[in-house]
Structure 1
Amino acid sequence: MLCLLVIKFECASTCMSSAPEECPKPFCKCEKKSNGKAVCSGRSLNYIPRLPKYIRSVIFTNTSIRVIDKCGLVNLTFQQIENINFTGNDLHSIDKDAFLNLTFLSSLIVSSEPNLNVSTLKLSFQSFQKYKLSALRLTFNYWESLPKDMFNNAHVSNVRLLFLQANNFTYVDFTTFKSMTRLRDISLANNSISQIYFTKLTSLTKLDMSSNLLQSVPTFCGRNDISYFPNLNNIILSRTYIAFLGPKIFRCLPRLSTLYLDYTNIGTLQDNVFASLPSLQTLHLNNLGHPLGKITQNAFNSSSLETLILRGSHFHFDQKERYNASRIFASCPNLQHLDLTDNNMPSDESTFQTIFRPLRKLQKLFLTSTKIVSLPTNVFTHMKLLQKLHLNDNGITFWNNSYHIFGNMTSMKYLSLRQNYISVINETSFPEDLLSRLETLNLARNPFSCICDQMWFRNWIQKNGSILKEYPNQYRCRHPNSMNGIVLKDYKPTDKMCNPWNPLYTMAIVMGIVVISFITVGSIAAKCQGNIKNYIYLLRVYHNRKKGYIPLDSEEDYEYHAFVVYCDNDRKWVHNDLLNKLENEEGLQLCIHHRNFVVGDSISVNVDNFLKKSWKVLVIVSNNFAQSEWCQWEVDVVQERRRRQGKEVIVPIILDTIDSKHMTSQLRTLLDSTPYLRYRSGVGSELFWKVLLESLRKPLGHPPTSLLYYPSFDDQTRVSPETETPTW
């Protein structure tokens, strides 16, 4: 305590004035913020100046300060200095009591000071406040070694961050850091380390050994497989000479979550290299092997792996002998982030599908510069959780079946197709539901064609341009030549320009109307053919009457207006509908075998007798009728009468459509040679009954009529219609 008071008194006697209000110009520049910072530089500066009270951090760079004695930093005691940085000065030594009065100091940087005596720096550590210093950066000093007891001091035992990058260390013994019981992050990057000796550091969480001369991965296991670093979660071994990874090389790292092996000489990724890392989540494998030659089927075997970065390795996914497409990602099903930038993807769509089939949980996928020419179908559509998709710098020109490429991507927020060969975007390029969900769409630096096919995209941009990245400057026309270099935003096509009326449209419309008319008329005719035939039949009757034809054989000469031939299965319609209409309402008399035949006489005798008493014959045709042998016999009898008296003597009525398998030759002959009526209930029934009545009252003959003949005025006797003789 007495020595401490003497030092304070000696230093105070050389500088009694208080801290200045202004920054000491021209040597320093000060920033007055919540944590004020001062930067002091210039070769004319060879001492530590006094700084304003608000300064908390100070940087001395490119000065001529050579020695910091015990009073060298006394001018900084007027502030609560927390951070000191000595970079690129001409430091040679630092006094062991130099930092004695800097009670708030928590971070010290000594960088680019190759002339500094490391032993004096080591001794100065004892002047730090105990347990106060938390960060120590000794970088770019090109020191070849450190004293073994460099940090064997309680005053630096609280250091959490130790950076020793860019020196010339060839060998590192971790017992040097053993007393730093709270050390969490140590960086030995950019040295020449080829050998390393570990000792147990339970507090260490991050180790950076990148850019060294390591030929192999150091062992992390001590005796009895006890881990040297049981809490280590981040290792960087990038830019080393490591060329081989064995299946047990990363044992004894139970909490390692992030591993960097970028720019190493690994030419083959062997099976189960990372399987011994139960907590591995992020794996960086950029630019492996120069290029990477082979990936075995279980190389990425890790159920915990979530992020895989395999950029720039120029691996040939288009050469099946280098890997197993169905297995390459099958053993890491929980992968969420995959970056395959600067590799060669297959052109075969089925192989593409096979590679990505297991990755159902993928959220981010980078396929930049992977030589994709056509977008694969049914690959991204199965990635329900995919949020970001990068397809930049490929050879994509256009695609069809957009739903099979981008459909059903319900989580997609970011899509980039930057710098491809896309010329036209239209309404079928992306599913509508995808565009409605996207927050960012990047189509910059594509050779757009400013033609009418681009009109939809121009209209879409006006409403949704806010989601387009790099718009409008990186969206320019390449075609046609007259528009080359023009910003797409300035291309403004109109409907009149792009949709002029073509005379062919008029012809197409007229032809369409004609075709529709024919189809309509044909449909009506097919549906109402029965009613149409009834109309034609009725018109013929009216036409014959207008020409003066009268019957030769009157219905008054017969007891019955008609003999009804029907199947017993159709009796309900005959008795309820036919008889009711013709007898009860119209007063006609019909012969029905159920009612009129004489009991005791044979059926053939009854048929013959009652046919002679009937003026006409009604034949009720149905599927039941066609299947009845007795009804077929009656058709033969009726046909005989038709041959004698003409076709008007028979009136066929079709109740339902006859199946072809039931149609007999006799029935077909009857229907082909005799006009028939078709019964339809509902619409058309009234016309049916009207035509039926006309048919029953129509005269017989072929035609069954006689023309009224009137003699000339020279005749002495006029013949009356009543006495006229019929002419057959």
Structure 2
Amino acid sequence: MNCICGLLEGSNDVPKEERKLCLTGYMTDIQSWVTWDGRLTVGLKEGVADLSSRKDATPALKNLISSQSRHNGVIKYLSMAKCGIRQVPTIIFLSDSAFMNPAETVEYLTFYGNNFGQFLVTSERYDSILNATSAKEVFLDPMNVQRRSTWSAGLHSAYFPKLKELDLRACNIEVLDAFIFQGMPYLTALYLGENSISFVDAHAFVGLNSLRHLDISRNREDDPKRILFFESADTLQRLNLQSLDLSFTAVDTRALGNFGTKLERLSVCYTGLFPLKPNIFANTSMKYLDLSGNAEILHEEGVLRGLENSLRVLYVNSIALKSLDFIKGFTKLEVLKASQNKITAISLDVMRTLRSLQILDLDGNRISAWFSKIISTMPKMKLLILVNNNINLITDSVIADIANLKYVALSKNLMVCYCYVRDMYEIAFQNEFRLKDTNITSSSIEDNALMFHTGFSDYNEIITKRRNVTESCFQIHNSTDVSNCFVGDFSTNLTGNFLYLDYDEGNYNCFSMAHAGSISYGEVLPCGQDLRDMRPELILNESRKSFLLLCIPLVLLPILAFIYAFRRNFRYFLITMRNSAMLSLINEKNVVDETKIFNYDVFVSYCNEDRTWVLDQLLPHVEKDCRISVCLHERDFQVGLSILENIVSCMDRSRFIMLIISRRFLLSQWCQFEMHLAQHRLLETRREDLILVLLEEIPRSLRPNTLHYLMLTKTYIVWPRDGTEEREFWRRLKKSLVTQKLKSAENDSLA
């Protein structure tokens, strides 16, 4: 069979600037017969007629039809993409006894990139209503004026008994007339994306009895204020669709909620929708849903009610979520993408109900470290993404909790160099020698095929492109010697089956207080050697002391017993000595200047676990009500300086310091350092510029000596947990802040 082909070798991918962002993907992410720009793919073997980008496409098609007729050939795949035509050519569908009719054989047809935008609108008209006495003229609203498109003239009278998929992307279509597709009884997929559709006639889809997937995505992206208007609110419901893509299209809200009982896949991402009503999906069979990019679309409680036993893939990126409570009890859910939100914690009560969850993506949230089993309560979990959150601490509990995962992503978190960071790194490193990358598939057999969604393929693509820790290490050291990747050999006794999903040496560093800077995970000292991030030369001194202990046990045993009995105080003493040494180095050349000008009124020190309270409660009251300028590390630290330099600089440029004390605060070495620095400043300047706020009562047994001393010498204020005395709390705090500010200003003026 002779073909006129315009096939080019190349990728079937959409250019990066046009890549999909939503669950339903771009058209060519879920179909393989056509490229992103309308060409037929090179893998097609028979019945291929690619006339894409030809300016003589209509005459060429006529010649092809004649040639095919002589050779008894048929056309199954036809492309007339980007040919500069203004309407569908009638020559394609006119039958003649001497020629083959391609409409009778074509199964896949694309007109991508043509200009079908012009349509005729009858002039404003008046209808006459006659009765027995007079005639009355009635003006018809423009929305009801009959519209007639010219682009679809070649479709109206044609019959397509075998057509399965029709591609009309990027054709600048503005109106869908009535009965355009009535001659396509077996069409299963219709692609109308990237057009300028503003009006859909109530009878536009009449005749599409087999339609299962409708794509009207990316309509009027250049003018998001222009909505897609459906003449009839039940247009979509009458189609009995299984898959609907409205991504990046402002939609008439009347059409929403009338999806039909068979709808399984829906994307309304980045459509600018208002909060949806409760139970809007209750009468559907929804399995795959994307609500991303619509702020507070789930604000109303119960929006997803009724989907607990059907929903399998859910995308809810960038919708201002503050928690995951809304998915509690979704037992069939396998993929949850909730990135770029405001989620602060992973709730055990919610997670343990997600018995089928395999992929959890929480990139770009505010989650801090957790200290109990949460991830391991989900028996099928395989992939966890916590990139760009507030995790600064890895413990043995965290490692045990994620031990059975296949992939973990933790980059762009401000990690402190505890030894368990090294343990986690070692586990991932060693696993690369014994584990191979494997794709994650749905537990449902039907979902393992491409079913007009990219829920699993999105993450399998990330897995395919991930970089090994070993590869990066060997490349840096230009060697395959494992010893170059670690300070010492493998040392961890912990186990796990996970690999790093997003390893990049630039994003997997931690901050070492001993080095006063960032180091790689492989340089962190193992837990068996030192729990306090000490230098190697100090380890040698410790080993010599151990030898002396063996030689003179009678002298040292009482001392060891004393140290064990007061081990918490002893450890605190060591931390204090180290912090004092660091402070002496920092302030070695500093001279107290009473006349200095401060950039901020107060520097607030808090741990990441209390970040929500600081941002949602403290900040509005202090900055708006008290008009106090606040210095916060996450917005005011200077980019490029070390954390240590930023802490010292910001404290030095603030009139006074506020410590937000909680039990989590006392577990953070950075917070302890800031508390030592505050005490050092008090002693150095002899100024009353410290405010203590306790978010909870701290028993004496948990108080470090520094905090105990400060609580004995400074009046502090306690946040009322029950909420009954909040007004009194803010009144007292405001009074203290204003008084401190005035007092400081008076001291400065006197100086």
TM-score after normalising by structure 2:
0.48
Higher relative contact order, structure no. (Cα contacts within 8 Å, ≥ 6 residues apart): 2
Normalised by the length of structure 1, the TM-score is: 0.49
Max Rg structure: 1
